[in-house]
Amino acid sequence: MFDIEKIRADFPILSREICGKPLVYLDNAATSQTPSCVFERISDTYCRINANVHRGVHTLSQEATDAHESARERVRKFINAPKSEEVIFTRGTTESINLVASSFGKKYLSDGDEIILTVMEHHANIVPWQLLQSDKKIGLRVVPIDEHGVLDQEVYRSLFNERTRFVSLSHVSNVLGTVNPVKEMIRYAHEKGVPVLIDGAQAAPHLRIDVQDLDADFYVLSAHKVYGPTGIGVLYGKEKWLNEMPPYQGGGEMIAHVDFEKTTFGNLPFKFEAGTPDYVGTTAFASALDYVDRIGLENIASHEAGLMKYTTERLMKIEGMRIFGTAPEKSSVISFLVDGIHHYDMGMLLDKLGIAVRTGHHCAQPLMTSLGIEGTVRASFAVYNTQAEADAFITAVEKVVKMFK
């Protein structure tokens, strides 16, 4: 049974007041709140089993190692990866994409090669590819969107040529909410012999991810958007690529043997995990995934879809309202502007009314340029948001609009 009050009780922060008003947290696409089972797990790790992993013979180190490696297995199950060795822990989506761009780039890219991105990418899926351009003359080709925020598949297919080496695109847009048809796009890229990375930062909290069904070569996500702790991310990669790719960083944990003449590297996943991993974070992330599974991703998605429909319909009735992103397949974000009101003004006034939303370019400046705007106000839903909160948000937007009349 989906019991919203019981769910809300798991998130102590939701009982805060902001400016004397109950907090309505609608900035979930930036970071979701954390249920108590997650920070209790953090506290439990520090209180009972804190010790460096992988290198100790003593009991605490073995327990910490077991917990950390079980977390890897937990993530494997969450994304249905074939093997837990294909799950690399990173600091987040950003680091995961930088790892692939740098390592894949070193091994497989040369002057004149091309990479396909889309106009809706987060800066985390643009800048790492641009950094390669200081070493190699790599071309970036960009898939545009239509007026609903849907990727133009005809242009996508037309961008492939004999120099196309990689495709990197988001599963769900953090601004438009568009759910991209990544399975079909991957299939097409594979027909052309091109591997694909999917940025799943905005998909993981809302959609069931099956990397085998998608046949993704790489899939990346961040724990802090899936009710987990900050500073933990995932890079899933097919073994065949990860085995061939050179290490990203060097240091302890990632080696087999070190000599001043020659060093050999460890096996997967350790080859890509230099230094002491954040085992406190990985184990807490496993607790977050258990929490999500207890509620059920499908239940979360249908609850959020109800809130999205209700809020969108009511917002559309406000004079001067423009919603960016009206794709038929859309996830839990609503980006909007009201004529004559700057997004920062809207965001700041909403905060005074207890409503937390995000304003600005949402780390997607090329998308803003293509839409001909500087930024939007973005409200985004999570499992614990209620219809009463949606009402409070809509009433607050109406109030701000009246102030500007």
Q: Which residues bind ligand PMP (CB under 6 A)?
A: 30, 92-94, 122, 124-125, 170, 174, 199, 201-202, 222, 363
Between 34 and 65, CB nearer to ligand PMP: 34
Between 202 and 335, CB nearer to ligand PMP: 202
Length of the chain: 405
SS3 17: strand
SS3 271: helix
Catalytic residue among 19, 37, 47, 363: 363
**Known catalytic residue at 37:** no
Tell me the residue type at 389: E
Between 94 and 385, CB nearer to ligand PMP: 94
Between 64 and 179, CB nearer to ligand PMP: 179
**What is the CA 152 to chain-centroid distance, rounded?**
22
Query: Smallest distance from the beta carbon of 101 to ligand PMP, in angstroms?
Result: 13
SS3 335: strand
H or E element at residue 21 = strand 21-22
Query: Smallest distance from the beta carbon of 1 to ligand PMP, in angstroms?
Result: 31
Q: Which alpha helices (H) appear in 263-404, and where do they start and end? A: 279-295, 297-315, 343-352, 365-371, 387-403
Q: What is the 3-state secondary structure (H, E, C) of 111-147?
A: CCCEEEEECCCCHHHCHHHHHHHHCCCCEEEEECECC
Query: Smallest distance from the beta carbon of 335 to ligand PMP, in angstroms?
Result: 12
User: Which stretches of 119-263 are assigned E, i.e. beta strand?
Assistant: 139-143, 164-170, 196-199, 218-222, 233-237, 255-257
Q: Quick one: tokens of 155?
A: 């242009």
Peptide bond into 269 cis (omega under 30): yes
Between 221 and 295, CB nearer to ligand PMP: 221
Query: Smallest distance from the beta carbon of 231 to ligand PMP, in angstroms?
Result: 9
Which residue in 235, 216, 356, 382 sits closest to 303, CA to CA? Answer: 382
DSSP 84: G
Query: Smallest distance from the beta carbon of 64 to ligand PMP, in angstroms?
Result: 24
Catalytic residues: 363
